[in-house]
Chain A
Amino acid sequence: MLTQNVFDLDGAKECERIGDWLRQALRRDLHRHGIVVALSGGVDSSVCAALAARALGVGKVLALLLPERDSSPHSTRLGRLVAEQLGIEWILQDITPALEAIGCYSRRDEAIRAVLPDYAADWKSKIAIRGGLEGRINHFVLVVETPAGAVREQRLGPREYLQIVAATSYKQRLRKAIEYFHADRLHYAVLGTPNRLEYDQGFFVKNGDGAADLKPIAHLYKTQVYALARFLGLPEEICAAQPTTDTYSMTQGQDEFYFGLPYADMDLALWGHDHGLPAAELGRALGMEPQQAELVYRDIERKRGTTAYLHASPRLAAPDLGG
């Protein structure tokens, strides 16, 4: 029977292994002497910062807190809590004015109004995935909430969906530009903080949070990241937090936005898929019918295919150049 036990790991050994790799990669491959990491207030970036601080010493890690208008007020507080607990230097920069200037919000709202003309500036919004786990084509819906609390949902066509995502991706891309400013001025390297689910299923913005010099936890299932957070003694609020995107003004779980299942189930599904576990056995572990589990497997494969572009390095017309 498939259980969460497959994710058991020796926290001390894993931290040591990642620490060795981090030091070697900085020294041998990257020739940088410290780490910049953006703290979102979530468990992944917190664990990454803690791993870097353990491996390099607190004086070699700079944390950035980069909230914007739609960020949860808790993000900055939690990011700061982690940085202060670790004893690493941190810098806070509100990126709202830059995002306003570049058209992030206005371009997003323009696309929203194309499907909901009465959408107003004080409404909250998010997008959510539908379809894949019911055997349908994956598509996205826009969910809005009026100040009075009324919630409406509208299917998005490709033009509007793509523009909303493109506009909100300014957030991750601008953050990355700021991370590299600090990395360049300090001669440091930039950490990327995806876990295995995010990395494998393409849940990141190309040249945004997907851009980095090192990705220390891309091999770890989310369940394992939480385990490391506890091993590293990170604050309880971090260890117990549910994953959200913190990108849209309405609270948006990663499962409703992208994965379709809660992370613990997604971990099991990804593990089962990659270890050739029959769908019926995954179904038993998740309490679902084999046909439903088969759809989960198929969704994993589809997302890999759809997001291969995000991982692709630039194609060269003369491939013998390498790269």
Chain B
Amino acid sequence: MNAPASKGTPRPGAADDGSIKHRVRTYLLDNFLMGGAAEDIQDDTSFIDSQILDSTGFLELISFLEETFGFHVEDAEMVPENLDSLRRVEAFVQGKRAAP
């Protein structure tokens, strides 16, 4: 088990954890849930099952991720396992950023 981070020293990636989900949630609220509330998109809400995104919506999300976080999403990465909830998107973005 890792030792707890000392007070005042941010855990590596902690700020990113919050901001990835926050930025993606804000993007979805602004562009797909006009007038929706943050509670409408829980961390594990499926964008497909809840009909927040259709296939064109996913293309727009992918463009947003590429422009915002500065990487290219490969064809093979365009799977629900990477993109179909805030938590999955967060893990995907972190993995892309950590990749050499």
Q: In this assembly, does B51 line the interface, its C-beta being within 8 Å of a C-beta of chain A? A: yes
B61 vs chain A, min Cβ distance (A): 9
Q: Given A137-B83, A157-B63, A158-B60, verify A306-B75 contact (CB < 8 Å).
A: no
B57 vs chain A, min Cβ distance (A): 9
* Complex interface bits, B35-58 against A, C-beta within 8 A gives 1, otherwise 0: 000000000000010010011101
Q: Given A131-B75, A155-B75, verify A137-B51 contact (CB < 8 Å).
A: no
Please indicate the chain B residues that have their CB under 8 angstroms from the CB of A137 in the complex: 55, 58-59, 62, 78-80, 83
Q: How many residues of A contact B (CB 8 A)?
A: 17
A32 to B75, CA, bound (A): 51
A299 vs chain B, min Cβ distance (A): 10
Which residues of chain B from 52 to 92 have any CB-CB distance to chain A below 8 Å in the complex? Answer: 54-56, 58-60, 62-63, 75-76, 78-80, 83
| A135 x B79 contact (CB < 8 A) | yes
Which residues of chain A from 95 to 146 have any CB-CB distance to chain B below 8 Å in the complex? Answer: 130-132, 135-139
A289 vs chain B, min Cβ distance (A): 18
| B51 x A136 contact (CB < 8 A) | no
Q: In this assembly, does A92 line the interface, its C-beta being within 8 Å of a C-beta of chain B? A: no
A138 to B79, CA, bound (A): 9
| B59 x A161 contact (CB < 8 A) | yes
Q: In this assembly, does A59 line the interface, its C-beta being within 8 Å of a C-beta of chain B? A: no
Please indicate the chain B residues that have their CB under 8 angstroms from the CB of A262 in the complex: none
Q: Given A130-B75, A131-B75, A131-B78, verify A139-B55 contact (CB < 8 Å).
A: yes
Please indicate the chain B residues that have their CB under 8 angstroms from the CB of A131 in the complex: 75, 78
| A136 x B75 contact (CB < 8 A) | yes
| A158 x B59 contact (CB < 8 A) | yes
* Complex interface bits, A1-23 against B, C-beta within 8 A gives 1, otherwise 0: 00000000000000000000000
Complex: chain B residue closest to A132, CB-CB = B55
A135 to B78, CA, bound (A): 9
A38 to B61, CA, bound (A): 38
| A306 x B79 contact (CB < 8 A) | no
B4 vs chain A, min Cβ distance (A): 39
Best-buried of B54, B63, B83 by chain A (most CB within 10 Å)? B54
| B79 x A136 contact (CB < 8 A) | yes
List 8 contacting pairs A-B, 8 Å CB cutoff, sorted by A: A136-B78, A137-B78, A137-B79, A137-B83, A139-B75, A157-B59, A158-B63, A161-B59
* Shortest Cβ-Cβ A-B pairs, 9 listed: A158-B59, A306-B54, A138-B55, A137-B78, A137-B58, A158-B60, A136-B78, A136-B79, A157-B63
Other than the given A135-B79, A139-B78, 18 more pairs (CB < 8 A) read A130-B75, A131-B75, A132-B55, A136-B78, A136-B79, A137-B55, A137-B62, A137-B79, A137-B83, A139-B55, A139-B58, A155-B75, A157-B62, A157-B63, A158-B59, A158-B60, A158-B63, A306-B54
A residues adjacent to B (C-beta < 8 A): 130-132, 135-139, 155, 157-159, 161-162, 302, 305-306
